[in-house]
Structure 1
Amino acid sequence: MSVYDFKVTTNRGKEISLADYKGKVLLIVNTASKCGFTPQYEGLEKLYKTYKDKGLVILGFPCNQFAGQDPGTDGEIEQFCRLNYGVSFPMFKKGDVRGETAQPLFKYLTGEKGFKGFDMDHPNAEVLLNFLKKNFPEFLEGDDIKWNFTKFLIDREGKVIARFEPTKTPEALAAEIEKLL
């Protein structure tokens, strides 16, 4: 099994197969528009512009499961991302990424690459960890996605190579992406 076995819905309502991206390096990210990590859109767009001609595609999946930080419609989210961060990479329909209601793609991704902890060198890591312990301790259990802007790196064959938590900035992924391009 690979990511190519999954179908997803674009933010415009069109169902597509991830097999359409065969031969590309993918970075699949669950996103949110009203999160402390939302400025990562800027870094994601920079990565996309830098490497898209070499075969990188970033796929953004908005989610409102984490303290209601993406309450808008798919159209509102798209407009926010384009106006505020110049996002030009593909965005998909808002949906769940953790728990029983998670989209099948995200159940697969977290099954392939489990949670290994936050990068505690990130300036917001301790704040995030303490926030989760206090408000959502169940989020820290198991391998489900812990918060917005969890990133999964997929190679050209559709294999999940790495998982990066929100405390790993997009800019810090450049070397890992270059290895696969």
Structure 2
Amino acid sequence: MIDRRTILASLLAATTIPSSIRTAHAQAAMSGITAYAFSFPALAGGNIRLADYAGHPMMVVNTASLCGFTPQYAGLQQLWSEFHDRGLMIVGVPSNDFGGQEPGGATEIAETAQHQYGVTFPMAAKAVVKGPDAHPFYRWAATARPQDVPRWNFHKYLVGRDGYLADVFPERVDPLDTRVKTAVARALAAA
């Protein structure tokens, strides 16, 4: 049975969200493909299979070692420390797509992320995050939210427990911003 709130929310969404976004989101949802269908080669070898975290919210962040936003690694680590025991997964995805700010290999990336900033959440190997050669996760996310694609390093996708994008935060939004923490808490509380 559908209640009035569901109907009102649907009507409001239909009138306030541009049709191109509604269509892209509907296409992604109709495809049945969720974030859990993807994996990333891990920085240290092996794979980070998102299916291993099915049913848990996750944040996927494209990172870079030589960026003005690189100190966000510290905030991501703090977010991970605060919410990981409650089920949040964070995956860092190094990318050289913006300003050539991730020119190094795995050793240099690990030095920055793990040694300089103390990152303990999983780090993927360097990947392309924009354009036709983007990693499949990023192509999927661009289809679901075409207005919210990465425009620089430290773009944050929050995936809900259902495997679909729950929220998106551009690079200028710090990982410890109240909006991010609220969205994470909401995703963790969702049944």
Q: TM class by shorter-chain length?
A: 0.7 to 0.9
**TM-score (norm. length: structure 2):** 0.77
- Structure 1 match to 2:183: 176
Identify, as 1 or 2, the structure richer in helix. 2
Offset from partner CA, 1:6-47 (integer Å, 9 cap, x none): 122111231342101112110000000100111111110000
Contact 1:99–1:144 (CA under 8 A) maintained in structure 2? no
Asked if 1:151 corresponds to 2:183, the answer is no
Distance 1:169 1:16 in 2: 24
Task: Choose which of 49, 55, 60 in structure 1 pairs with 2:92.
Answer: 60
Aligned-residue Cα RMSD (Å) equals 1.2
**Pairwise CA distance, 1:49:** 0.2
| Alpha-carbon contact 1:114-1:163 (below 8 Å) kept | no
Give the structure 2 partner of residue 15 of structure 1: 47
Separation in 1, partners of 2:149, 2:183: 22
- 1:104 aligns with 136
Aligned to 1:44: 76
Alpha-carbon contact 1:24-1:56 (below 8 Å) kept:
yes
Task: Please name the residue that 1:72 is paired with.
Answer: 104
Q: Tell me the number of residue pairs that the alignment of Structure 1 and Structure 2 aligns.
A: 154
Q: C-alpha separation between the residues in 1 aligned to 2:81 and 2:184?
A: 13
Identify the residue that residue 91 of structure 1 maps to in structure 2.
123
Pairwise CA distance, 1:80? 1.5
Measured after TM superposition, the shift of residue 171 of structure 1 is 0.8
Counterpart contact for 1:113–1:162, Cα < 8 Å: no
Runs of 4+ residues deviating >4 angstroms: none
One-letter code of the match for 2:164?
Answer: K
- Aligned residues: percent identity? 39
Instruction: Give 5+ residue unaligned stretches, structure 2.
Output: 1-32
Could you say what secondary structure the match of 2:138 adopts?
helix
> Contact (CA 8 Å) 2:141, 2:149: kept in 1 or not?
no
Counterpart residue type for residue 109 of structure 1: A
Q: Distance in 2 between matches of 1:16 and 1:61?
A: 11
Equivalent AA in structure 1 for residue 170 of structure 2: E
For residues 95 and 48 of structure 2, what CA distance do their matches in structure 1 show? 19
Q: Which has the larger radius of gyration?
A: 2
